[in-house]
Structure 1
């Protein structure tokens, strides 16, 4: 997908320097930066919601049972 993004001149200059050094296109560097950002900010707790939805155990009863073992 193509998208338009306004990037300040200072960032474009820095991007051009890295592009020349690494011999990669600006577009490739931007894609890599976005992928790295998304990986770093990937939600982790959201994936845990609903893990017990198919279990036939009452959550509170299970919690009390496990804690009684302490």
Structure 2
């Protein structure tokens, strides 16, 4: 396991400490869990392939956009 140094504002440290104490867990474990969640969320966003997403649609993209905007 590697160690890293991270600067956090005092308010974040206080909130983190309170959360860790309430859960009776080490702050490091809470931080690792938060980082795992962050990575999973952002990794999924990067894995989404948006190219050719519209290819099987029957409606022209511009027509669809105009239809949506007509509601405004």
Q: In which range does the TM-score fall when normalised by the shorter chain?
A: 0.5 to 0.7
Q: Please give the TM-score of this superposition, normalised by the length of structure 1.
A: 0.62
- Please list every run of at least 4 consecutive aligned residues from structure 1 whose deviation after the TM superposition is greater than 4 angstroms: none
Q: Report the counterpart of residue 35 of structure 1 in structure 2.
A: 36
Structure 1: unaligned runs, 5 residues or longer: 47-70
Question: Shift of the alpha carbon at 1:16?
Answer: 0.6
Within 5 Å, which residues of 2 pair with 1:1-70?
A: 1-42=2-43, 43-45=46-48
Question: Which structure has the bigger radius of gyration?
Answer: 1
SS at match of 1:24: coil
Cα RMSD for the two superposed structures: 2.2
Figure out how many residues of one structure are paired with residues of the other and give that number.
50
Q: Please give the TM-score of this superposition, normalised by the length of structure 2.
A: 0.61
